[in-house]
Structure 1
Amino acid sequence: MEPGSVRPLTGWVALNQLPQEEDLVPGDKRKYIKASSQNGPKLKALQTFLMDWINTSLKHEHIVVKNLEQDLYDGLVLHHLLEKLGSLTVEVEKIALTEQKQRVKLAIILKTVSECLQLEESELKWSVDAIFKKDLLSTLHLLVSIAEHFQPELPIPPDVCVDVIIMECTSDGLKTENAVEHITKSRETPEDPSKAEVFDELLKRAPEKLDAIKEVLLKFVNRHVGKLGLNVKDADLQFADGVILLLLIGQLEGYFLNLGDFFLTPSSTSEMVHNVNLAISLLMDGGLLNTPINPEDVVNQETKATLLILYCLFSRYKSKKI
């Protein structure tokens, strides 16, 4: 069926996550992620990143999110997140047991979000109805907007987009249209040369010197983590879980990282992503890194991402005495 075509409701075969006939009434227009995009690596990485961010933010409240749309629909987690990030007091029930009370609570929380973000209703990419019905696309838009507002330095995975189908119920039938939806912003290039640009230029001009660059960076790393009894030989493999990165940052920045804030012996990809994300956040907060790095790239042992982090530390602390 061509984009924008109209097909009668009777006999319609729904795609994954598309509504049943009774869910749409004439005048309704909704947007859904296509089944073909639901398992895309960038979308999965964004979901993992946001869950890790929420769980880290609410760790001391013993809240664990395992599925974004399933765990956020009733407003409970959003309530705690707003109070934590924005130091806000939202006048709603702590626990709403009935569906009606949950919807009322969610409406108040989303109104608070739009007021904090200073968004008009026409600018919102979510609604009470969509979040309450556990719509993933709306939930992602909401969380990304909250994160960008309260923690603008958070290294949210960039360039995440999905194929969507837009459905509009008309008196003649169901009108459908295919489109591409951007969930996170594209990676921006700052006006001033960043360390990332300098590093890119270095690799571009002298790619044959990559091994030599690795050797210099590893020598720098081992000079500072050696006192902890550590020795790094593989720049890709040994930094992938984020542990040595965090210990190195602690050594260079002169502070002790609480063992409760990261996983000393990560046993899953999500725990490794958590560690690397924490390391990236520390670097960005400290002004050492001004270009967001996708933590998944480091976990997946992408050389360029790992070396860029080490280069940022090297640039600042190459003259630091042990």
Structure 2
Amino acid sequence: EELNKRLGLQDSSPIKWNVKLIHNKDLLATIHLLVAMVKAFQPELILPPNVKVEVVAVEVGKNGIKSEVQTEILTEDSSAASDSSVSTEGVDPIEQLLKLEANKVNTVKKALLHFVNQNLATLGLQVADMDKQLADGVILLLLIGQLEGFFIPLFSFHLTPVSDSEMIQNVALALELLDDMGLQLSNIDPQDIVSQDTTATLKVLYALFKKHKRQMREDPV
């Protein structure tokens, strides 16, 4: 309470940290606190404006895993944005995720796996190993078709690829479709997916997950 008073926070001000969160090393709460301290004690220090982070809230229950993407505003928008040399663009959430503890990474992987299987269930398909089973591009193409509501003609890709070149062609088609959907995934090469690169696979699935969850919020059934 004393700290909040020194920070100049009013009783009605939303406070996004507490002793328990800070003690438990909650990263988001700690950042909110640090931003407030900078504003109060070093107002001359220019913080990058309009900084936002996307938080994946995962809840494991009896009926499976529920997940929701939430946007947290760390610094408000400011007309001084053009004067700041610090850019927040280009921060990849998956690359940041992989820097966290293994249990947090595994929780997000489970959420993405649940998302994949939930949308492939009508096809009678199930994924247990994302990196391995998405490597040939077939399931990835079927998943995109399910999510976007269109059928990808079987003659346009290799349904049972037997070589790396056929797998690469499948994944290249999938990435092309994602690009057409407005999901620009920079620094991902088809070979990355075929080579079972975990970071690349997670980036693709997270992009689909984020788009799908946003559509569900905008178009509730």
TM-score by length of 2: 0.55
Shift of 1:213: 1.4
Q: Tell me if 1:211 matches 2:97.
A: no
What letter matches 1:238 in structure 2? Q
Give the aligned partner of residue 120 of structure 2. 225
SS at match of 1:236: helix
Is contact 1:220–1:318 with CA below 8 Å preserved after alignment?
no
Give the aligned partner of residue 237 of structure 1. 132
- Paired with 1:293 and 1:209, the residues of 2 have a C-alpha distance of 23
- Structure 2 residues without counterparts, runs of 5 or longer: 1-86
TM alignment of 1:1-322, pairs within 5 A: 193-194=89-90, 197-318=92-213, 320=216
- Paired with 1:227 and 1:193, the residues of 2 have a C-alpha distance of 37
Structure with higher Rg: it is: 1
> Alpha-carbon deviations, 1:249-281, whole Å to 9, x = none?
011111110111101111111000000111111
Identity value in percent: 50
TM-score by length of 1: 0.38
Is contact 2:136–2:167 with CA below 8 Å preserved after alignment?
yes
Give the aligned partner of residue 167 of structure 1. none
RMSD over aligned CA atoms reads: 2.0
Between the two structures, name the one with larger relative contact order (CA 8 Å, sep ≥ 6): 1
- Paired with 1:274 and 1:211, the residues of 2 have a C-alpha distance of 29
Shift of 1:193: 3.0
- Paired with 2:95 and 2:101, the residues of 1 have a C-alpha distance of 10
Number of aligned pairs? 131
What letter matches 2:184 in structure 1? L
> Alpha-carbon deviations, 1:290-310, whole Å to 9, x = none?
414111111111111111100
SS at match of 2:108: helix
- Paired with 1:305 and 1:253, the residues of 2 have a C-alpha distance of 21
- Paired with 2:166 and 2:127, the residues of 1 have a C-alpha distance of 21
What letter matches 1:193 in structure 2? E
Shift of 1:192: 6.2
